[in-house]
Amino acid sequence: MNATEELADDKPWVELAEALREEDQEAASSLLANMSGEEQRFAMAHLSGEQQSDLTTLLTPDDAADLLEHLPDVQAADILEDMAPAEAADVVEELEDEVRAEVIREMGDSESEAVLAELDDQTEAEEIRDICSHEWDTAAALMNRSYAFFNDQLTVDEVLSKLGEDAEEYSDLDVQYVYIVDEQHVLQGVLRLRDLVLTPRNRRVADIMIREPLSASAEASFDELCTLFEGKSYVGLPVTDPDGKLVGVVTSKALREATAEHQTEDYLHSAGILGGEELRSMPMLSRCGRRLAWLGPNILLNLLAASVIASHEETLAAVIALAVFLPMVSDMSGCSGNQAVAVSIRELTLGLLRPTEFLRILFKEGILGVINGLVVGVVLAIVAAVWKDNLWLGLVVGAALALNTILSVLLGGMVPLLLKRLKVDPALASGPILTTCTDMCGFFLVLGLASQVLERLV
Amino acid sequence: MNATEELADDKPWVELAEALREEDQEAASSLLANMSGEEQRFAMAHLSGEQQSDLTTLLTPDDAADLLEHLPDVQAADILEDMAPAEAADVVEELEDEVRAEVIREMGDSESEAVLAELDDQTEAEEIRDICSHEWDTAAALMNRSYAFFNDQLTVDEVLSKLGEDAEEYSDLDVQYVYIVDEQHVLQGVLRLRDLVLTPRNRRVADIMIREPLSASAEASFDELCTLFEGKSYVGLPVTDPDGKLVGVVTSKALREATAEHQTEDYLHSAGILGGEELRSMPMLSRCGRRLAWLGPNILLNLLAASVIASHEETLAAVIALAVFLPMVSDMSGCSGNQAVAVSIRELTLGLLRPTEFLRILFKEGILGVINGLVVGVVLAIVAAVWKDNLWLGLVVGAALALNTILSVLLGGMVPLLLKRLKVDPALASGPILTTCTDMCGFFLVLGLASQVLERLV
């Protein structure tokens, strides 16, 4: 392979951009057809937003849908928003069922409505509207609305024949259970495909189905669904309306994907990325704005912490060496506090800790804080005393770090519980709250203790 | 419900501890039998390590296994380690297949060997040893070693009959595909249960199976498995040895669980929790030690940053107000850098960014850094100038924050790529590296710029 080929291989988007410039639909289609889904995603991430939607418009709706299915939902939504509604609707019609609503949900309200209004199948449009009207992680939004169901009067043989006749129709469904309903579509039982195969053909399905199966209401929240699935190996859980009628099926796959999405959201929030995924192919100003939305409140919190230093400037002026240790004390105790935050968030997630158990944190983190506080405090005390050749300076910063570590692990352990009770996302708010408190207390402890023994430090 | 009942309800472990004190096996069993998996987990988290293993020993092996299956693997492993090997082996024998190896893996080497040596079925023990000898996220460790397979000479009817005859045996397997092999157990094809049901009974399975199916080698890494599954809706992927013989099946469920575990590990690492899950029911000293293992290197990095302040003490002594803004500049740019870290880690995970694309980061984060740096710099400049009534002071800290923000987002964007290339976990090391660099540069910029215009600041 020569250098040029290597370059082209590394930059698959270059040829795509070329085909786009020449409006060569065939070339673009065949380039994409030769890429794996991963390569398509990589290539698209390197085109500008405008190029992305031009390319999608250039392709046939079918090819365009294939492409969008490989992109993160938020990117697919951005591309559709930039297309003419009629053209976007053609693409949306070709998207797979499970992707369609998720992508529409990521679009702005007016943009998605414009596209939905253009769909040929307005029943489908109405269904998507309904899905999007529910929170993304509730049963109503996560459930499949197509599923295999049969009347409870049928025999095993009749059901197997029907499955055979309509094989085409069922091939899109992930048929592992079939649902047994009465005339009014009220759920009567669940039948595993396996049991169907392994039973004499003349039995009635009502005799071999699992009766009174566990089901969720359409309004069930993500947490409720997790509790229903927890510890069980269901592949799917039927969803019923208040009259007991079957309206859909939440699969364990959908629930696991939702769990992964929650974890991703937690991660992004804890790092100060709000409003969902940020991709570097998004418009620069919107990226700047979203990041500033997080930095703004942080400036205020930082000013609050800095005001503690400002109010002790005289002490600091007398012992300038203290300034060296101020950021160290606040940073180190911040680290300790973050560890406690992570353990609390994990224990809450795993169901090992309830949001009311402040006393447990006080005990478990309190002892740990005393031990770890002593260790890091003594280390810093020795370092400071030797470095600045002043035992009292060592004592002041060491004691401040030890005390602030205790405080910080206690706070770090409790803040997620408090936020959970207040229904605020712990991953989002624990960090800034903790940092501000440990900064303020750390500065106060160093400068406050120093002012008490000022004559020994000078 | 009166207050006492409420209390007992809130503290399900109190009655368990009571049954334990009285060595009342029946009471303990029936208490646990009346709890959901979630409640069992919650109750166990509130017993001491000793109580946990005493309780497990008290129960029948079957009940004990049921209990351990509801606990985090690491907790189940700790409990087994504390039991006598022979008793632990009785419990291990009752654990579900998929849990067994995962729990053994979490145990210390000598402890797990002691238990494995006591297993009645030494073939089973050998298999667990083999699983544990592979990295937990490779195909060999993730795959099911039991699966439904049939010879390629059979007819549909013969396969269906065999499935029926051995229904008992297959009921433990998640049979959705059956695998078709030749006499030498070399994989020939994959057959969906659905196709089996929907095909005339006299056809040969070799005619309707999917030929040359995608398969993974037993050595396939987690990343390779993700690539194989990516964009496809397989429920399982066959795993073959170098001769093409079928050795197991990796399910999409196993892969999704591994993905979730990787995300959890990333989260814990980024918060400074090393060596896997920390639960507050673990021994205090081990918890302290593990957290200190992370704090230790951080003290050194903090000292490095503090030395920059120490080398500018004269400037600081001349303009003590600067000390107020030092932590602000380093904290704020740290926040900006962390945002860039999160976006890079996400883009790497989603396959939108390759570890070689430093130029892309330079461009995409560079522009963003200039814009956001200007915004936060101007804000801080105004605040500082007004607060301290000194325009030059505002200029110094504002410029320092602006420059340090640019540097920090560039570093934050690039460090995960660099670590990925060096095969170091980005979630673990990005934070400390970034913080140290932005602290050092931030302190240097504030104090260095100040020293240049010192006469205007005093």
Look at B163 and A198 and tell me if their CB atoms are within 8 Å: yes
Q: How far is A367 from chain B (nearest CA, A)?
A: 8
- Of residues B273, B323, B325, nearest to A343 (C-beta): B273
- Of residues B10, B327, B332, nearest to A327 (C-beta): B327
- Type of residue found at A5: E
Report helix, strand or coil for B178.
strand
Look at B306 and A328 and tell me if their CB atoms are within 8 Å: yes
Check whether residue A299 and residue A448 sit in a common domain. yes
Check whether residue B194 and residue B157 sit in a common domain. yes
Q: How far is B385 from chain A (nearest CA, A)?
A: 13
Element (H, E) at A23: none
Residues of A in contact with B257 (CB under 8 A): 256
Chain A residue whose CA is closest to B436:
A331
Identify whether A122 is part of a domain. Answer: yes
Check whether residue A168 and residue A127 sit in a common domain. no
Check whether residue A167 and residue A95 sit in a common domain. no
Read off the CATH number of the domain in which B183 is found.
Answer: 3.10.580.10
Residues A321, B310: Cα–Cα separation, whole Å: 7
- Of residues B37, B278, B302, nearest to A230 (C-beta): B37
With a cut of 50, which residues of chain B have pLDDT below it? 1-8
Instruction: Identify the pLDDT of residue B168.
Output: 66
Q: Are B40 and B67 in contact (CB under 8 A)?
A: yes
Residues of A in contact with B174 (CB under 8 A): 233
Residues of B in contact with A268 (CB under 8 A): 342, 346
Check whether residue A245 and residue A175 sit in a common domain. yes
Read off the CATH number of the domain in which A123 is found.
Answer: 1.25.60.10
Report helix, strand or coil for B149.
strand
Probe site for chain B from A346, A390, A408, A428 (most B CB atoms < 10 A): A346
Check whether residue B221 and residue B161 sit in a common domain. yes
Check whether residue B74 and residue B160 sit in a common domain. no
Which of A133, A163, A197 is at the close of a domain? A133
Identify whether A139 is part of a domain. Answer: no
Chain A residue whose CA is closest to B401:
A299
Check whether residue B379 and residue B299 sit in a common domain. yes
Check whether residue A216 and residue A339 sit in a common domain. no
Crossing angle (nearest 10°) for helices B109-117 and B122-133 = 160
- Type of residue found at A117: A
- Of residues B38, B285, B291, nearest to A339 (C-beta): B291
Look at A273 and B376 and tell me if their CB atoms are within 8 Å: no
Identify whether A309 is part of a domain. Answer: yes
Residues of A in contact with B45 (CB under 8 A): 347, 352-353
Q: Are A246 and A187 in contact (CB under 8 A)?
A: yes
Residues A44, A55: Cα–Cα separation, whole Å: 9
Walk along chain A (458 residues) in steps of 10 and give the mean pLDDT of each run: 44 88 91 86 90 92 92 93 94 89 92 94 92 92 89 89 74 74 94 79 88 91 87 82 93 85 86 87 89 90 91 92 93 93 89 90 94 96 95 96 97 95 87 92 96 90
Q: Which residues pair with A144 in a beta bridge?
A: A249
Residues A317, B385: Cα–Cα separation, whole Å: 20
- Of residues B280, B346, B367, nearest to A277 (C-beta): B346
Identify whether A259 is part of a domain. Answer: no
Identify whether A38 is part of a domain. Answer: yes
Residues of A in contact with B52 (CB under 8 A): none
Crossing angle (nearest 10°) for helices A322-350 and B284-310 = 150
Check whether residue A214 and residue A238 sit in a common domain. yes
Which of B199, B233, B252 is at the close of a domain? B252
Q: What is the ipTM of this complex?
A: 0.84
Instruction: Identify the pLDDT of residue A253.
Output: 82
Residue A245 tokens, joined: 């009628």
Identify whether A394 is part of a domain. Answer: yes
Residues A378, A395: Cα–Cα separation, whole Å: 8
Look at B353 and A163 and tell me if their CB atoms are within 8 Å: no
Residues of A in contact with B317 (CB under 8 A): 317, 320
Q: How are beta strands B187-192 and B177-181 bridged, if at all?
A: antiparallel
Domain limits for position A213: 149-251
Instruction: Identify the pLDDT of residue B2.
Output: 39
Look at B281 and A352 and tell me if their CB atoms are within 8 Å: yes
- Of residues B72, B303, B328, nearest to A302 (C-beta): B328
Read off the CATH number of the domain in which A291 is found.
Answer: 1.10.357.20
* Dihedral Cα B399, B401, B407, B410, nearest 10 deg: -120
Identify whether B364 is part of a domain. Answer: yes
User: What total of structural domains would you count in chain B?
Assistant: 3
Instruction: Identify the pLDDT of residue A7.
Output: 41
Whole-angstrom CA distances from B194 to B5, B191, B208 are 52, 8, 11
Probe site for chain A from B350, B372, B388, B417 (most A CB atoms < 10 A): B350
Chain A residue whose CA is closest to B330:
A327
Check whether residue B218 and residue B342 sit in a common domain. no
Q: How far is B377 from chain A (nearest CA, A)?
A: 11
Check whether residue B192 and residue B341 sit in a common domain. no
Identify whether A16 is part of a domain. Answer: yes
Residues of B in contact with A273 (CB under 8 A): 339, 342-343
